[in-house]
Amino acid sequence: MIIMVKSRVEFAKKFPGHYAWLLRYNRDLIDRAFPLTKKTISLTDCKKDALKYKTRSEWAKKSPSSYSKARRYGKLDEYCKHMEHGKTPNGFWSLEKCKKESQKYKTRSEWQSKDSRSYAAARNRGWLVECCKHMEKKLIYWSLELCKRDALKYKTKEEWKKGSPKSYESARHNDWISKCCEHMPKNAHLRMVVNLDTMEVFNSAAEVAKSLGIPSFKSNLCRAIKNNTKAGGYRWAYCDEDGNVIKQTKGEINARQNKR
């Protein structure tokens, strides 16, 4: 049965049961029929193999057999002359060398990922700013003019805060909010109100109170809208510019109260 196949692998595939039995009870028969041929690596092969790699760790990882033989015969130093040293000697990285290396990259992150040694040397010696002058700057300094320009994209403070939080926070931190929001409607935060019985629309609850001549009516109106009750004998609701009623959930009501 063994004669019918040409290799040990073919025999194991075609007759797995017989192969397993022979491995257990008569392994010598398999070894005589299919002798294992082990390729011997010469030191010359090791030397040629070493030229494929830049570091010892890379050679040991990708070709462990040739690396182990070179180490066993004490040839590592000879075969690794072309490789980068595992540890950079003290004083190797000068400012000029770090600058030269940094010129190969466009960003700090790229430099750090592709040449961590020169980057670390520049960082540890405080040379990063000088070495990275040519690189693309991703950080934006939000000046007053930039904040104003960015704020022009939005109609309200809330919209600006959500759409561009970095410029908004910079403006808030520097007390520029009022200057940046001059173009925004002053009453943009107010909600329009509709009289559900007469369908008359008002710009705000304060306008309703003013029209009725009752200053304290504003709080009564807001309470009536919240509790879905009458105020001044009428039913009220918040609405949009077209007079369409805006229904409020309990969560929205609570959130609005917390902001106040």
d(C-alpha 122, C-alpha 130), whole Å: 9
Same domain, 215 and 252: yes
Tokens of 7: 């290799």
Query: Residue 79: how many CB atoms within 10 A of its CB?
Result: 22
| pLDDT surpassing 60 at residue 255 | no
Whether residue 204 sits in one domain with residue 240: yes
Pair of tokens at residue 110:
């790229």
Residue-wise burial string across 108-123, b where 16 or more C-beta atoms lie within 10 A, e elsewhere? beebbeebeebbebbe
| Residue 187 counted as domain residue | no
Same domain, 196 and 254: yes
Closest CA to 110 of 134, 94, 142: 134
Structure tokens at 187: 């009453």
Domain membership flag for residue 100: yes
Domain count of the chain?
Answer: 5
Q: Which residues, in sequence order, are bridge partners of residue 76?
A: none
Residue 240: phi and psi, rounded to 5, are -95, -170
- The pLDDT of 52-76, averaged and rounded, is 86
Q: What's residue 181's pLDDT?
A: 86
- Residue 52 or residue 138, greater confidence: 52
For residue 197, report the phi and psi dihedrals to the nearest 5 degrees: -90, -40
Question: One-letter amino acid identity for 117?
Answer: R
> Is 109 inside a domain boundary?
yes
DSSP 226: H
For residue 158, the one-letter residue type is: E
Same domain, 205 and 175: no
What's the one-letter identity of residue 160? Answer: W
Same domain, 133 and 155: no
SS3 36: coil
Query: How does residue 249 score in pLDDT terms, banded at 50, 70 and 90?
Result: very low
Cβ count within 10 A of residue 6: 9
Residue 199: inside a domain, yes or no? yes
Same-domain check for residues 49 and 72: yes
Residue 38 included in any domain: no
Residues 208 and 200: their CA atoms lie apart, in Å, by: 10
Q: What is the pLDDT of residues 186-233, one digit of tens each?
A: 654 567 888 888 888 887 777 887 777 776 677 778 888 888 888 888
**Residue 8 within a domain:** yes
Residues 88, 93, 99, 100, Cα dihedral to 10°: -60
Domain assignment of residue 186, yes or no? no
Claim to verify: residue 91 and residue 130 sit in the same structural domain: yes
Which of 159, 180, 201 is the last residue before a domain boundary?
180
For residue 6, give its domain range: 2-33
Residue 244 belongs to some domain of the structure? yes
**What does the alpha-carbon distance between residue 134 and residue 72 come to, in Å, rounded to a whole number?**
48
Instruction: Specify whether 200 is located in the same domain as 249.
Output: yes
Q: Which residues contact 27 (CB under 8 A, 6 or more apart)?
A: none
Q: What Å distances lie between residue 8 and 33, 34, 132, CA to CA? A: 8, 6, 61
pTM here is: 0.28
**Looking at 106, 138, 170, which one is the last position of a domain?**
138
Domain match, 217 and 234 both: yes
Amino acid at 59: W
Sheet strands (E) in the chain: 192-195, 201-202, 230-231, 234-239
Token pair recorded at residue 178:
């009022």
Q: Which amino acid is at 24?
A: R
pLDDT digits (tens, 9 = 90+) for 95-149: 999 999 999 888 888 888 888 888 888 988 889 889 988 886 655 678 899 899 9
- Going by DSSP bridges, is the β-strand pair 234-239/201-202 parallel, antiparallel, or unpaired? unpaired
Is there a single domain that holds both residue 159 and residue 205? no
